[in-house]
Amino acid sequence: MDVYISMLMEGVAGVVAAAQVDDAAAGRSYRSAKGLMTREANAAVAGAITAGAQRIIVNDGHGRMRNLDLETLDPRVECSLGYPKPFGAMAGITNRFGACCLVGYHGGAGSAPAILDHTLSRRMFRAVRLNGVRQTETTLNAALAGHHGVPVVMVSGDEATCAEAIAALGPQVQTVATKAAFGAGAAYCLHPSVARERIETAVHEGLSRAIGGDVEPYRLTPPYVLECDTASTLAADYASTIPGVERTAGRTLRFAADDYTTVFRALLTMSMLGELARP
């Protein structure tokens, strides 16, 4: 079985503050968080290997997507790095994979209490809905995997992230709560070594269930109507220049398509344009 691991940073055990995930500033706390992120990736890889994975892709999906420390990353994996890349944190996902794991994930915009909650871009989005249902990066990425027939078998992050994953994907998904948030910038955290042990176990269990046919892909039904509430009218100004995007209100955008990959790429394009919205 080929296994796809999508890595974010905000949900990693010990990460609670914006400075820890700021790859642009690259301060001391960020460099420490890079190590924590890489070691959680290695824990997921270890669980996949013991479950029988033949090929493992680890995709760095945080920020500019060059956070993983390749010198300490498990040498048995292939790693996707750099930005921009098609489908962002899910770059390279295809139907050749037997399962997908989402490690280090965070709550969606407006989740509370949740560490560093957002959906794709704090600067761009206050809320993202698909067919009227609130979305998070967990659900959006799981739906892209499901579009290719790939089930998400494991999700890790704070308690809010895990609760959102179970609510959308069902109780069959394995989850590891790495911390319990007080708010957006403070949490009780598991010791990183404990979190890694639980991640390894959860990945192994999730893949074992996938091999047994007990986990179904998360699929959404077309047509797809995407609605986004932006953080500012300036962000909406930028994103409304995308062909096919309709501005239904000052800070609300709408995009519709029958193909999920088209909707997903439109959303990523909105996110990238929104980063330009600096007064």
Which tokens sit at 113?
Answer: 């209490």
6, 10, 64, 233, 264 from 60: Cα distances, Å: 6, 12, 9, 31, 18
Q: Name residues whose C-beta falls within 8 Å of residue 74's C-beta, 6 or more positions apart in sequence.
A: 41, 42, 45, 46
Does the pTM surpass 0.95? The reply is yes
For helices 260-274 and 137-147, the axis angle rounded to 10 degrees is 140
Residue 274 has pLDDT above 90, yes or no: no
pLDDT tens-digit series, residues 196-217: 999 999 999 999 999 999 999 9
Residue 195 has pLDDT above 90, yes or no: yes
pLDDT tens-digit series, residues 132-190: 999 999 999 999 999 999 999 999 999 999 999 999 999 999 999 999 999 999 999 99
CA distance 110 to 56: 33
Tell me the domains of the chain and their CATH numbers.
2-120+136-211 (3.40.50.10780)
Averaged confidence pLDDT in the chain: 97
Strand partners, 133: 130
- Amino acid 277: pLDDT: 86
- Amino acid 68: pLDDT: 98
3-state SS, the chain, equals CEEEEEECCCCCCCCCCHHHHCCCCCCHHHHHHHHHHHHHHHHHHHHHHHCCCCEEEEEECCCCCCCCCCCCCCCCCEEECCCCCCCHHHCCCCCCEEEEEEEEECCCCCCCCCCCCCCCCCCCEEEEEECCEECCHHHHHHHHHHHCCCCEEEEEEEHHHHHHHHHHHCCCCEEEEEEEECCCCCEEECCHHHHHHHHHHHHHHHHHHHHCCCCCCCCCCCCEEEEEEECCHHHHHHHCCCCCCEEEECCEEEEEECCHHHHHHHHHHHHHHHCCCCC
Residue 279 has pLDDT above 80, yes or no: no
Q: What angle do CA 165, 166, 172 make, to 5 degrees?
A: 120
- Amino acid 210: pLDDT: 96
